[in-house]
């Protein structure tokens, strides 16, 4: 009997009895139709939900294991949720493991590492590391979940200096599809360790990760905002300027129409504007010199540059802190062409049928280097990543898709791939996921998927199916 037959038989013989599961776990098992169930599956992303048959509020690896075994026995897919930043459209009802109670962070200052449990947001690691003059390789928004970010690669505010966060993972604790708790390192399971760092959510329910911390207490950084009439000039200047930067400077530019609401700084309210953001680990005087070509473009609506403690690194990108509905994706570019970038911005700009945020981050530097211990992250030679993102209204994703397609079309000549972390709302698209990996790596990932999750239990993610 195959594992699949076993699941089918079990499902036929024993209809899911949540009481049996509840008896095995310490945390709550929440059922549809209750307020607790709704609260637990509510995430930062407001447009999508998992709509599970039940939610297991896991308190530790034992609960995660019981949930995975239960789902496998009853032929249910397993969905994982920490913060709900990555919620996406679903086509079937999973068993949801909510990790928000697993919030332990332990820092080892001598080893410069942190052990992070499954439900931890980056802000928890940043706070725990800061007293030791250390920082994690976190991203633009400190309220994003650390584990999923790491499993998908992890492009941080200091990315060009230190590389992908996933390449700084030392070990991964997870429960695999067969219900086995494993401690995975480069030495113990080289294949699985490779796959977990870049395509990780396909291979199990991760309960904790150990990562490197870097000796950064503060950065020189901030942002320059330019008004609508300067947007094309800023994009042109960013194209030439970014090509000259040292690896210690990680920069990006976004263009968007800012909402006309009080939380927005007054100079930006209701304005279409460009925002160049950067973090630099060198000294203030050098940064001032490096910024000159950008400031020469023209007057700034806001010019906010200075020393920022890493605990306030979220100020650099100033991502919206409140839950909302959004949709978007990204393309990796092998070069940035100024005309194409201006055309891309126009395609999503004020005249477009739906509003879009265009965000271009420079890659290169340490992101280009192959790590000592290889990982599944693909397209390392990409020079930039261009992201497109729209807030959704009642018209849903179909209203914004044509705008996004027009943006991607403008940079199609330079497009070489994608990053799974920045696929928002539409993770079930196999082609998008395949684009994230080198062809040979994608084949290897599928082989590993057949070995570690042949029934595709962990498919409620950027899925790599084991078979066609």
Ligand X SMILES: Cc1cc2nc3c(=O)[nH]c(=O)nc-3n(C[C@H](O)[C@H](O)[C@H](O)COP(=O)(O)OP(=O)(O)OC[C@H]3O[C@@H](n4cnc5c(N)ncnc54)[C@H](O)[C@@H]3O)c2cc1C
Residue 86 in the binding site for ligand X (CB under 6 A): yes
With beta carbons less than 8 A apart as the criterion, state whether 429 and 352 touch.
no
Range in contact with ligand X (rule: CB under 6 A) among 147-155, 178-186, 338-346, 436-444? 147-155
Per CB under 6 A, the list member of 60, 84, 378, 466 interacting with ligand X is 84
Range in contact with ligand X (rule: CB under 6 A) among 145-153, 270-278, 300-308, 352-360? 145-153
Distance (Å, whole) CA 378 – CA 389: 22
Residue 154 in the binding site for ligand X (CB under 6 A): yes
Distance (Å, whole) CA 324 – CA 261: 15
Residue 140 in the binding site for ligand X (CB under 6 A): yes
With beta carbons less than 8 A apart as the criterion, state whether 379 and 320 touch.
no
H helix intervals, 113-217:
122-129, 146-151, 159-162, 190-199
Distance (Å, whole) CA 302 – CA 258: 13
Task: Name the residue with tokens 């210690």.
Answer: 248
With beta carbons less than 8 A apart as the criterion, state whether 221 and 239 touch.
no
Distance (Å, whole) CA 394 – CA 390: 13
Closest C-alpha to 212, from 418, 371, 340: 371
Per CB under 6 A, the list member of 81, 254, 329, 362 interacting with ligand X is 81
Please say which residue, 82 or 237, places its beta carbon nearer to ligand X. Answer: 82
Q: What one-character DSSP code corresponds to residue 145?
A: B
Residue 375 in the binding site for ligand X (CB under 6 A): no
Residue window 21-60: x/- pattern of binding to ligand X, with contact defined by CB under 6 A? ----------------------x-----------------
Residue 80 in the binding site for ligand X (CB under 6 A): yes
Please say which residue, 66 or 340, places its beta carbon nearer to ligand X. Answer: 66
Please say which residue, 67 or 80, places its beta carbon nearer to ligand X. Answer: 80
Range in contact with ligand X (rule: CB under 6 A) among 27-35, 143-151, 182-190, 334-342? 143-151
Per CB under 6 A, the list member of 68, 166, 205, 216 interacting with ligand X is 205
Please say which residue, 206 or 342, places its beta carbon nearer to ligand X. Answer: 206
Residue 158 in the binding site for ligand X (CB under 6 A): no
> Nearest approach, Cβ of 242 to ligand X (angstroms)?
17
Residue 414 in the binding site for ligand X (CB under 6 A): no
Please say which residue, 415 or 428, places its beta carbon nearer to ligand X. Answer: 428
Per CB under 6 A, the list member of 114, 155, 352, 377 interacting with ligand X is 155
Q: Which residues pair with 362 in a beta bridge?
A: 384
Residue 319 in the binding site for ligand X (CB under 6 A): yes
Distance (Å, whole) CA 455 – CA 75: 9
DSSP annotation string for 49-113: ----SEEEE--SHHHHHHHHHHHHHTT--EEEESSSTT----SS--EEEE-TT---EEEETTTTE
Q: Which two tokens stand for residue 205?
A: 């329910």
Distance (Å, whole) CA 67 – CA 22: 9
Residue 144 in the binding site for ligand X (CB under 6 A): yes
With beta carbons less than 8 A apart as the criterion, state whether 384 and 360 touch.
yes
Please say which residue, 145 or 349, places its beta carbon nearer to ligand X. Answer: 145
Please say which residue, 143 or 286, places its beta carbon nearer to ligand X. Answer: 143
Please say which residue, 237 or 390, places its beta carbon nearer to ligand X. Answer: 390
DSSP annotation string for 205-261: EEEEEEEE-BS-SEEEEEEEEEEGGGHHHHHHHHHHHHTT--TTEEEEEEEEEPPSS
Instruction: Compute the half-sphere exposure of residue 375: CA atoms within 13 Å on the CB side of its CA.
Output: 30
Please say which residue, 152 or 349, places its beta carbon nearer to ligand X. Answer: 152
**Other CB atoms within 10 A of residue 292 CB:** 9
Per CB under 6 A, the list member of 134, 201, 276, 290 interacting with ligand X is 201
Residue 87 in the binding site for ligand X (CB under 6 A): yes
> Nearest approach, Cβ of 98 to ligand X (angstroms)?
9
Residue 82 in the binding site for ligand X (CB under 6 A): yes
**Other CB atoms within 10 A of residue 197 CB:** 28
The residue number whose beta carbon is nearest to ligand X equals 145
Please say which residue, 300 or 427, places its beta carbon nearer to ligand X. Answer: 427
Per CB under 6 A, the list member of 206, 340, 367, 382 interacting with ligand X is 206
Query: Residues binding ligand X: what is the number (CB under 6 A)?
Result: 31
C-alpha torsion angle, residues 455, 118, 460, 3 (rounded to 10): 10
> Nearest approach, Cβ of 9 to ligand X (angstroms)?
27
Contacts with ligand X, residue ranges (CB under 6 A): 43, 80-87, 99, 118, 139-141, 144-145, 147-149, 151-155, 201, 205-206, 319, 421-422, 461
């Amino acid at each position: 009997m195959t594992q699949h037959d076993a699941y089918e038989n079990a499902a036929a013989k024993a209809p899911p009895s949540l009481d049996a599961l509840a008896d095995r776990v310490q945390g709550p098992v929440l059922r549809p139709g209750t307020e607790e169930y709704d609260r637990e599956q509510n995430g930062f992303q407001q447009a999508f939900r998992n709509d599970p048959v039940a939610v297991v509020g896991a308190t530790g690896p034992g609960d995660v294991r019981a949930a995975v075994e239960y789902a496998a026995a009853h032929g249910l897919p397993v969905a994982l949720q920490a913060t709900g930043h990555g919620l996406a459209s679903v086509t079937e009802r999973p068993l949801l493991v909510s990790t928000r109670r697993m919030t332990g962070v332990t820092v080892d200052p001598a080893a410069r590492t942190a052990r992070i449990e499954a439900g931890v947001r980056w802000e928890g690691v940043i706070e725990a590391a800061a007293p030791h003059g250390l920082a994690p390789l976190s991203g633009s928004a400190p309220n994003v979940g650390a584990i999923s970010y790491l499993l998908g690669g992890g492009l941080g505010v200091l990315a060009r200096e230190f590389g992908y966060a996933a390449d700084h993972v030392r070990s991964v604790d997870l429960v695999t599809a067969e219900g086995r708790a494993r401690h995975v390192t480069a030495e113990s399971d080289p294949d699985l360790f490779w796959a977990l760092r870049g395509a990780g959510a396909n291979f199990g329910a991760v309960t904790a990760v150990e990562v490197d911390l870097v000796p950064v207490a503060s950065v020189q950084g901030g942002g320059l905002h330019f008004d609508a009439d300067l947007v094309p000039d800023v994009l042109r200047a960013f194209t030439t300027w970014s090509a000259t930067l040292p690896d210690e400077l990680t920069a990006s530019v976004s263009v968007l129409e800012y909402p006309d609401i009080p939380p927005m700084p007054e100079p930006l309210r209701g304005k279409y504007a460009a925002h160049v953001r950067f973090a630099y680990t060198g000294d203030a005087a050098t940064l001032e010199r490096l910024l000159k070509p950008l400031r020469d473009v023209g007057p700034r609506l806001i010019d906010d540059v200075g020393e920022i403690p890493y605990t306030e690194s979220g100020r650099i990108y100033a991502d919206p802190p409140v839950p909302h509905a959004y949709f978007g994706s990204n393309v990796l570019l092998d070069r940035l062409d100024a005309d194409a970038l201006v055309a891309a911005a126009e395609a999503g700009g004020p005249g477009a049928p739906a509003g879009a945020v265009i965000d271009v981050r420079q890659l290169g530097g340490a992101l280009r280097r192959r790590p000592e211990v290889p990982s599944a992250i693909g397209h390392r030679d990409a020079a930039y990543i261009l992201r497109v993102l729209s807030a959704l209204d009642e018209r849903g994703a179909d209203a914004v898709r044509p705008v996004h397609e027009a943006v991607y079309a403008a940079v199609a000549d330079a497009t070489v791939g994608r990053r799974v972390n920045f696929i928002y709302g539409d993770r079930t698209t196999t082609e998008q996921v395949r684009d994230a990996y080198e062809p040979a790596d994608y084949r290897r990932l599928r082989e590993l998927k057949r070995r570690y999750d042949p029934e595709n239990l962990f498919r409620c993610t950027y899925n790599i199916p084991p078979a066609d």
